[in-house]
Structure 1
């Protein structure tokens, strides 16, 4: 009976300790804060909390407002304490007219993610293969620019339709492995078989593979990353279709693909929060500009997406997987030290935190918010408070 009481008491203390940590304020937190242009929700949450992803725990959003999480420059945040002693933030909002003339502050700094929000997409493999593609150019040019005509094969276009012309850059994949050997961290550069077979892929443009290894799963293409290079309008339907390239883009090449134009392809009305659970095999697939390492305010691609429950605003901790070393201390003989059973995997090492800002079905983009060591390919994602 005594053991049972001790176990219950320990559980109660653990629950209380977890709750206390969950709502603990920074020692130097302000009592009030006036929101300024250029602020982010992450930055404001970090003024009050050591763990910014716990923002929902202290934010007293007004449910009568259409989007209660939106905060505008000029709003005044005030800290108070509920009857239970829990800290809570409320807001004295600007007048509706003043707010209508300004934009709400984003969760992440827009300057760091604009290109990924506006110009980059991750396509499902079926969508990628059935999109119309650029076949040729007027006057038999090798490239095309604004004000020129391109010829496109494929279905689904409409007369006068505005389209985005995109270029495949990365193929994200899960690669099965039959061994415990760690994969090479540098993505393999290969040709895209589908485009090559049709003679569409430019000879000087390889498509890179960004992948991670998993056990117990077959090869799976997670998606194709494409970057918008130009826009255009459908001027004539046929086989091929005729497209007039709009001003303001880059040169168009054969093999580029066409997508319907989206005037508002993204939504930034989210807030930092912890995920309910961390998906299996959540890893870093790629780092900004195809680098092997990254740091604060670098964008990374994650190997999980909407199908695994990933949502914009979720925060994860990033961990460098522990290296595997030989135990030469206990096993002095060289042959014994080389045996697999005498190898030891060191603990994973915390690298930083990442917040998801754009989610596709099987791949997500996140922004590294902070860190104490470089983020690298194949790093593992865990719960944000896992330290």
Structure 2
């Protein structure tokens, strides 16, 4: 955060002092991005590639010598502007290890300069004569203190609206987790469907009844999980729960003495009270509650896996959808247990057709054409054995069963 207390101030001037070797943006929480530290792995990579750059053969044919970052730009778009392999961006971006304080952000208005030397290319932010960045946009404000998040204007890796919902909505869980989760048991006036603004009642498992706790009263509502199976082995890799909306716990569970028909009393359970804050779809009795997780402050930078990986697309996100196009989300059968991490770029391969070789008279030999690269996807939310990926580029449609490999 920074504060203004003068009649005229340079808008986001501090941002101009943040050159870096990676263009990272916090899609989930841009206001906190500038507080993220440089990881040892990032610094190690920076030390290896700083001043080295990439071979000139890796540059895009029309890579500009200079480029001014604009509002609406994304890392992936700029990477594609300069490189034939956009995931090699960190190698192109030269890093001054002595000056860099935060390599996670760059901003509209910064000028990128392509330098070519000894058969290699690097990209840097243009420095003014005094060593500072060129001035950013000037904004006139009244004489009072203002607070503004520097990272709000940093360019993101991707269009945030393409994946932001997936950072909180879909969830991959074990079957037992959802089975044992608290459930909606009733709504007022015997209402069948529940939506935003409605009140409902829920119960947790006997061992963990719902109780109001400080900072832990928000829940997400899900419906029965759908098994995600490996197309090759048919093994269930996880369950994808259908996100319905959000609820807040108003009162916890309890018990109450109730008179019986015989004039006595019995203790009956009293369900917890929840209010529905938002509803993507209408809810009903039997839907499950899971605690609202901490907001994901994950940064993304496109990069290839350190070692070769090969996986398969097991699902296209959406009801009864089997084919995907550009900017759609798919699930692959590889996760953190296989070394997958946020930002990994994978090539999508279309299986070659099986045909008969009829070129030789009198012969009919069965052949299989080679697999062909069909596009690229970027992993943005990995789980243990499954991961969500966004299709960045595509030549033809993608379907369940297509393979994904390291983009070498």
For the superposition of Structure 1 and Structure 2, which TM-score range results when normalised by the shorter chain? 0.7 to 0.9
- 8 Å Cα contact 2:203-2:210 kept in structure 1: no
* Aligned-pair CA distance for 1:44: 0.7
* Aligned-pair CA distance for 1:108: 1.4
Match of 2:312 in 1: 283
Cα 1:248/1:224, change in 2 over 3 Å: closer
Match of 2:13 in 1: none
- 8 Å Cα contact 2:222-2:241 kept in structure 1: no
Cα separation, 2, equivalents of 1:128 and 1:22? 52
Cα 1:79/1:157, change in 2 over 3 Å: farther
Answer with 1 or 2: which has the greater Rg.
Answer: 2
- 8 Å Cα contact 1:285-1:301 kept in structure 2: yes
Unpaired runs of 5+ residues, structure 2, are 1-52, 127-132, 137-146, 255-268
Cα separation, 1, equivalents of 2:357 and 2:341? 42
Cα separation, 2, equivalents of 1:346 and 1:45? 32
Match of 1:231 in 2: 247
Q: Does 1:321 align with 2:351?
A: yes
TM-score by length of 2: 0.69
Match of 1:191 in 2: none
Q: Does 1:72 align with 2:107?
A: yes
- Superposition pairs of residues 205-216 of structure 1, within 5 angstroms: 212-214=231-233
Match of 1:117 in 2: 167
TM-score by length of 1: 0.72
* Aligned-pair CA distance for 1:313: 1.1
Cα 1:156/1:270, change in 2 over 3 Å: farther
Cα separation, 1, equivalents of 2:90 and 2:107? 17
* Aligned-pair CA distance for 1:329: 6.6
- 8 Å Cα contact 1:123-1:226 kept in structure 2: no
Cα separation, 2, equivalents of 1:22 and 1:227? 47
Cα 1:225/1:72, change in 2 over 3 Å: farther
- 8 Å Cα contact 1:26-1:48 kept in structure 2: yes
Match of 1:44 in 2: 78
* Aligned-pair CA distance for 1:370: 1.2
Cα separation, 2, equivalents of 1:22 and 1:220? 45
- Superposition pairs of residues 143-292 of structure 1, within 5 angstroms: 143-145=193-195, 146-154=197-205, 155=208, 157-160=210-213, 161-168=217-224, 170-174=226-230, 212-214=231-233, 219-238=235-254, 241-249=271-279, 250-265=281-296, 267=298, 269-280=299-310, 282-289=311-318, 290-292=320-322
Unpaired runs of 5+ residues, structure 1, are 1-18, 175-211
Q: Secondary structure at the match of 1:170?
A: strand
